[in-house]
């Protein structure tokens, strides 16, 4: 390891920005400059023995016979927003997808799609942020790739991360496992990520800055599993928000889910922002919030476990799964009326992750 | 499984191209249209039980305690070229990186980065080609992601695939394992992929069409391992070509590699094309060729195994590893002179993979 991540601090870009102020096409042709970029920037930030073997892939140990495998590409704009950036998001998003499978996140890949002319300093800032997020989430970036596309054929930087996690418990967590009588828990206030990115993009300002909730939720998930609680489904509520996530679970499981609007802990700041902008907080993305659908008998214990972790200290019981031939999601409003929630449609907020 | 891949044939696009002739931003917002795209196009093509669980990732069985993990993004232009397209390439490239670790390729992820306005028909054609390549290579696409970026911020479609393979043999194959006396084998004629893409991009025409060599090389690799031969390093000779691949091995291993120019089986068509265009075939990318560095005692047997597979029937012994404190690659030319090979530098051929 060249340098432990935590020592990167605010270290200056290891590539001479006088010589290469921006990324050039030759940084992606597989030759000398590609080598300098990989060694100077990526290996410096993510340094570990896997990367330093300079091989086409990494060979990693997986105790246990089952692994979780997931992927996500990140295209968020702006690259930096209150509470995060494309680099930290690319770690948290994929770590969380592994956690949603009931796995301990272990290894990430990182593939950078760079546009000719992208600032080398900004790239370094993004990569440093990724390295810090990976260290905090206790995962290693073990393999990667770099491509450069012509100016005008990209947008600075896009990042893909794939992830491998290890199933340590004999669990089978997926939407189809949800059943009648289950209880729906939400790990915290929804919607801050989507609103933070949107306000940063549009340069809106509110009295209170809205900061993204993006973070790893692996710890409370592993806590639930270690406690032996009967978790049927986990879902991080990213694109499409809480409402779309619940609709997907309900349709896949063929069940009906009833949510109490007043139990969903939307913060006053998010509620106010949504009212001003005409948005519905139930459809705004979070990147550090998840839904756990658990057996009714374990709901109280599960809530207690979740509240024991800082990231999910405001967890709430928000609804339940009902026997109903019409699969779908029904919201019982604060006024006592009901409305059916559909998937997000129409008013889209593109590129929030 | 909705439909086995092999039955896709030339099936028309499952999404109504009258309604959606092109990809829209809303296809990437996580809502209704995203769902239709995933179900209609990706699940239809890649259909398997993992995808149909509609979960954030796949949980897969891995017999054995070690897995190989790799990633690559594909930005090749044009999207279609003689012998392949971005979809088949995205499968072969990642399958081959797993094979280079000595692993049996098993599972792929597929992440699509689509530009608003990209033709839905063309997307379907690419996805169908990916599915066929995955079936031929005996790997499953078990998890995926779709993002859409604004018109002008992408280039139609970029694809990332990550891969997981299983180590079935107790091997430790990587550049650092190369040592004095080892023999360098090349699995076939180099450079056709790079030249095929370049001629398609520039709309050049030669007397004989040059077709990409892109294909899975997993079979001969697994054959070498099953035969118990002492394989020290494997490297597919993609970006930067044979020369750059060998330089990377030599530098990582701290050895010198001597190559006989006349033993490298460059075809007359590639040689002629390179002469016309002023290119060096040793620096042209292949996507279905690999170098195997093996123990001297096993070189003959290894060559025999490789020649037993169609994809590597023209395998040749091209050089050897020497004790020499100056690590690097030396080419002994047909004229009896020597020249040092460096990494690709300068005359770059961007976006060939």
Domain boundary (B133, B168, B203) is at B168
List the single residue in B with minimal CA-CA distance to A346.
B26
The predicted structure's pLDDT at residue B66: 92
Q: Are residues B158 and B184 both part of a single domain? A: no
**In this structure, what are the phi and psi dihedrals at residue A45, rounded to the nearest 5 degrees?**
-80, -45
User: What tens digit of pLDDT does each residue of A176-193 get?
Assistant: 999 999 999 999 999 999
B-chain CB neighbours of A165 within 8 Å are 57
- Are A160 and A222 found together in one domain? no
Res. A49: pLDDT tops 90: no
A257 within 8 A of A181, measured Cβ to Cβ? no
A350, part of any domain: no
Q: Does A160 touch chain B (CB under 8 A)?
A: yes
A201 in contact with chain B, both atoms CB, cutoff 8 A: no
| Per-residue confidence (pLDDT) for residue A327, from 0 to 100 | 83
What tokens were used for B58? 């796949």
This prediction's pTM = 0.95
Interface residue B107 vs chain A (CB under 8 A): yes
Q: How confident is the model at residue B204 (pLDDT cuts 50, 70, 90)?
A: confident
Residue A175 contacts residue A309 (beta carbons within 8 Å):
no
Buried b (16+ CB within 10 A) or exposed e, A137-153: bebbbbbbbbbbbeeeb
Same domain, A322 and A202: yes
Residue A136 lies in a domain: yes
- ipTM of this model? 0.95
In Å, the largest CA–CA distance within chain B is 67
Examine residue B104 and state whether it is found in any structural domain, yes or no: yes
Q: What is the mean pLDDT of residues B17-44?
A: 93
> Taking residues A281-307, what's their average pLDDT?
97
Mean pLDDT, range B288-299, rounded to an integer? 98
Q: Which of B138, B168, B198 is the last residue of a domain?
A: B168
**A287/A106 Cα distance (integer angstroms):** 19
Of A55, A160, A342, nearest to B111 by CB-CB distance is A160
Output the pLDDT for position A6.
60
B170 touches chain A (CB under 8 A): no
CB contact under 8 A, B71 and A30: no
Angle between helix B299-307 and B218-226 (nearest 10): 140
Confirm if B290 and B248 have CB atoms less than 8 A apart: no
Contacts of B59 in chain A (CB under 8 A): 66-69, 101-103, 167, 172
Q: Which domain holds residue A65?
A: 57-168
Partner B, chain A 18-47, Cβ-Cβ below 8 Å: 25-26, 28-35
Q: pLDDT band for position A347 (50/70/90)?
A: low
Distance from CA of A180 to the nearest CA of B (A): 18
Number of CB pairs, chain A paired with chain B, less than 8 A apart: 285
Domain boundary among A102, A134, A168: A168
CB contact under 8 A, A56 and B62: no
Q: Look at residues B259, B65, B93 and name the one whose alpha carbon lies nearest to residue B161.
A: B93
Q: What's the burial of B140, exposed, middle or buried (CB within 10 Å: 0-12/13-18/19+)?
A: buried
User: Which candidate from A61, A155, A238 shows the least CB-CB separation from B65?
Assistant: A61
Mutate to test the interface with B, among A37, A38, A43, A70 (most CBs of B within 10 A): A70
Chain B nearest C-alpha distance from A176 (Å)? 7
Residue B24's Cβ-side half-sphere holds a number of Cα atoms within 13 Å equal to 17
A222 touches chain B (CB under 8 A): no
Chain B neighbors of A148, CB-CB under 8 A: 350
| B40: in domain | no
In a domain, A37, yes or no: no
- Interchain pair A56, B70: CB under 8 A: yes
The total domain count for chain A is: 2
Count CB atoms within 10 A of the CB of residue B249: 29
Angle between helices B86-100 and B120-136 (to 10 degrees): 30
Is residue B192 located within the same domain as residue B145? no
- Tell me what the pLDDT averaged over chain A comes to: 93
Kindly report, residue by residue over A220-236, the tens digit of the pLDDT: 999 999 999 999 999 99
Give SS3 for B277: helix
Task: Evaluate if residue A75 carries a pLDDT over 80.
Answer: yes
Which H/E stretch holds residue A113?
Answer: strand A104-115
Is B292 contained in some domain?
A: yes
CB A26 within 8 A of CB A150: no
pLDDT single digits (tens) B158-192: 999 999 999 999 999 999 999 999 999 999 999 99
The answer on B149 and B99 residing in a single domain is yes
| A73 domain-assigned | yes
Are residues A191 and A302 part of one domain? yes
The reply to whether residue A342 touches residue B32, judged by beta carbons under 8 angstroms, is yes
- For chain B, the average pLDDT equals 93
Q: Distance, in angstroms, between A105 CA and closest chain B CA?
A: 12
Of A55, A69, A102, the CB nearest to B109: A69
Residue B295 lies in a domain: yes
For residues A117 and A182, state if they share a domain: no
CATH number at residue B299: 3.90.650.10
Tell me which residue of A283, A245, A348, A241 sits closest to B26, measured CA to CA.
Answer: A348
Q: Which of B29, B155, B234 sits opposite A350 (nearest CB)?
A: B29
Contact state of A25 with B350 under an 8 Å Cβ cutoff: yes
A179 with A327, same domain?
Answer: yes
Q: In this complex, is the C-beta atom of A90 within 8 Å of any C-beta atom belonging to chain B?
A: no
Nearest Cα to Cα of residue B6 among B120, B108, B138, B101: B138
Compute the distance between CA of residue B88 and CA of residue B69 in angstroms, rounded to an integer. 19
Furthest-apart CA atoms within chain A: distance in Å:
67
Of A174-178, A268-272, A304-308, B347-351, the least confident: B347-351
The enclosing domain of B101 has a CATH number of 3.30.1330.10
**Shared domain check, A322 and A209:** yes
**Chain segment B238-248, per-residue pLDDT in tens:** 999 999 999 99
Helix axes A120-136, A86-100, angle to 10 degrees: 30
Indicate whether B250 and B143 sit together in one domain.
Answer: no
Instruction: Assign B4 a pLDDT band (cuts: 50, 70, 90).
Output: very low
Nearest Cα residue to A126 out of A178, A152, A91, A95: A91
Nearest Cα of chain B lies from the Cα of A51 at a distance, in angstroms, of 11
Specify burial of residue A350 (Cβ count, 10 A radius: 0-12, 13-18, 19+): buried
What does DSSP assign to residue A22? B
- Among residues of chain B, what percentage have pLDDT more than 90? 85
Q: In 10 A of CB A72, how many CB atoms?
A: 27
- Are A158 and A82 found together in one domain? yes
Q: Are residues B305 and B322 in the same domain?
A: yes
Work out the percent of chain A whose per-residue pLDDT is above 70. Answer: 97
Inter-chain residue contact B100 with A150, CB threshold 8 Å: no
Identify the band that residue B2 occupies on the pLDDT scale cut at 50, 70 and 90: very low
DSSP of B95-144, one letter per residue?
Answer: HHHHHHTT-EEEEEEEEEEEETT-BHHHHHHHHHHHHHHHHHTT-EEEEE
pLDDT(A4) > 50: no
Determine phi and psi for A94, rounding to 5 degrees: -80, -35
pLDDT band at A206 (very low <50, low <70, confident <90, very high): confident
pLDDT over 70 at B1, yes or no:
no
The residue ranking higher by pLDDT, B257 or A2, is: B257
Q: Which of B9, B115, B114, B126 has the alpha carbon at shortest distance from B78?
A: B126
Average pLDDT of the segment spanning B303-309: 98
Q: What Rg do the C-alpha atoms of chain B give, in angstroms?
A: 21
Q: Does the pLDDT at position A303 exceed 70?
A: yes
Please provide the distance, in angstroms rounded to a whole number, between the alpha carbons at the two ends of chain A.
30
Alpha helix ranges (H) inside A176-319: 192-202, 218-226, 241-253, 268-277, 299-307
């Amino acid at each position: 390891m060249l340098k432990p991540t935590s020592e990167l601090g605010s270290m200056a870009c290891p590539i001479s920005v006088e010589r290469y102020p921006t990324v050039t096409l030759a940084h992606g042709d597989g030759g000398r400059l590609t080598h300098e970029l990989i060694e100077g920037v990526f290996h410096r930030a993510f340094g570990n023995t896997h990367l330093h073997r300079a091989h086409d892939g990494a060979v990693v140990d997986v105790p246990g016979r089952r692994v979780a495998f997931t992927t996500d590409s990140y295209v968020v704009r702006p690259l930096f927003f209150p509470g995060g950036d494309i680099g930290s998001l690319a770690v948290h998003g994929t770590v969380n997808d592994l956690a949603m499978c009931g796995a301990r996140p272990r290894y990430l890949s990182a593939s950078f799609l760079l546009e000719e002319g992208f600032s080398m300093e900004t790239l370094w800032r993004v990569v440093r942020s990724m390295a810090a997020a990976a260290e905090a989430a206790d995962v290693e970036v073990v393999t990667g790739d770099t491509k450069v596309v012509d100016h005008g054929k990209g947008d600075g930087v896009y990042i893909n991360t794939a992830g491998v996690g290890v199933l340590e418990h004999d669990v089978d967590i997926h939407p189809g496992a949800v059943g009648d009588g289950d209880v729906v828990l939400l790990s915290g206030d929804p919607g801050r990520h989507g609103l933070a990115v949107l306000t940063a993009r549009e340069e809106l300002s509110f009295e209170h800055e809205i900061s993204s909730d993006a973070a790893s939720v692996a710890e409370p998930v592993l806590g639930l599993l270690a406690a032996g609680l009967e978790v049927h489904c986990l879902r991080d509520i990213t694109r499409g928000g809480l409402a779309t996530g619940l609709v997907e679970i309900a349709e896949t499981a063929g069940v009906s889910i009833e949510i109490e609007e007043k139990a969903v802990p939307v913060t006053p700041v998010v509620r106010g922002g949504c009212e001003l902008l005409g948005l519905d907080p139930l459809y705004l993305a979070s990147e550090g919030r998840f839904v756990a659908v658990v057996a009714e008998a374990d709901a109280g214990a599960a809530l207690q476990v979740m509240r024991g972790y800082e990231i999910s200290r405001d967890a709430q019981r928000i609804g339940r799964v009902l026997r109903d031939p019409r699969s779908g999601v029904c919201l019982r409003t604060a006024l006592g009326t009901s409305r059916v929630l559909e998937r997000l449609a129409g008013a889209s907020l593109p590129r929030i992750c």
